Amino acid sequence: MKAVQVRKAYDLVTAEMKKPILSKDDDVLVKVKLVGICGSDMHIYHGTNPLATLPRVIGHEVTGQVEEVGPNVRSLKAGDHVVIEPISYCGTCYACRKGRPNVCAKLSVFGVHEDGGMREYIVLPERQLHVVSKDLPWEEAVMAEPYTIGAQAVWRGRVEKGDTVLIQGAGPIGICVLKMAKLAGAAVMMTDLNSERLAFAKENGADAVVNAQTEHVAERVREWTGNEGANVVIDAVCLPATFELSIEAVSPAGHVVVLGFDERAAQISQLPITKKEVTITGSRLQTNQFPKVVELLNKGKIAHNGLVTHSFSVDDVHHAFQLIEEHPDQVRKAVITFDELIGIRRCKQ
């Protein structure tokens, strides 16, 4: 079978690998249909993801069809359409006991710590697979995992109806956060440096947008909130400067949610944190968000609405990475297809 593997930094290959087989009673064999390319996949390709080990088959935004199930599998059957929950965990450490397996002491992330889903077939335990409606287009289903990231950030920020939320960054994850925040009943302002991305954010429900290259974000937030500040600031840009701005822009008793892995230090004093009693929260992967996201997808309450802009066959994966690398402003979400019959727009260069 074909598999997309990063052997070392900037060394991306389509390799031939042996088709996996069921080895445990709760195993499920899945024929992969679509795999999204995530920013973390690009970081693995660049050799800058601090958590990944190489060589690695990448890909954790995966949807496919069940081909075979083990004898103890009860919730799935051959022919089911599924999405992949890309984490495995011990279930016994402190984080797991607190209901936070996404930060398990022995966490293993599909496509990061172990070989992922950018291959024709995968085998995973039943608990990592969630059934989606067969009426749901594959290009909608493939967005399930990014939506769980958005749902997690909104949950970590305790976003409620009537809250004001500032989302820094209108890329794919920022848009997923936006969709979840709007479903929670919040008013949302989004920032970015790209006018086209900001226009797309408005199309997808943003109440206000700010071009951070030409406007003063903190001033715009104060104007928008009547000098209160944003009740929740979610940083999907993840630079030291945006982290610093989050503390400045958040309201008293507000929440700042950080999604990034940047190891550079930010210049933040204690005074505004204590004075406003700000809660600063990390958000990594997701905790029990898949059932909610799958239900929203099945009911049509969330849709990519133009977020998926490019599709490449697995044989054209190099073109996909080249396009994202050289023209990031042209790509919102690119997906790799392992099924020539999937009827979405195909790009070859």
What angle do the packed helices 240-249 and 217-224 form, to 10 degrees? 30
Question: Which residues, 6 or more positions from 124, have their beta carbon under 8 angstroms from its beta carbon?
Answer: 27, 28, 30, 84, 110
Buried b (16+ CB within 10 A) or exposed e, 288-311: ebbebbbebbeeeebbbeebbbbb
pTM: 0.95
Buried b (16+ CB within 10 A) or exposed e, 200-221: bbeebebbbbbebeeeebeebb
Buried b (16+ CB within 10 A) or exposed e, 226-243: eeebbbbbbbbbbeeebb
Q: How far apart are the first and last CA of the chain?
A: 24
Q: Give the strand pairing for 121-125 and 27-36.
A: antiparallel
Residue 139: left (phi > 0), alpha (psi -120 to 50), or beta? Answer: alpha
- The first and second tokens of residue 246, run together, are 């989050």
Position 51 scores a pLDDT of: 86
- Regions of the chain where pLDDT drops below 70: 341-349
Contact 261, 75 (CB under 8 A): no
Domains in the chain and their CATH numbers?
2-143+304-337 (3.90.180.10), 152-282 (3.40.50.720)
Position 348 scores a pLDDT of: 40
Question: Which residues, 6 or more positions from 120, have their beta carbon under 8 angstroms from its beta carbon?
Answer: 1, 2, 3, 19, 31, 32, 314, 338
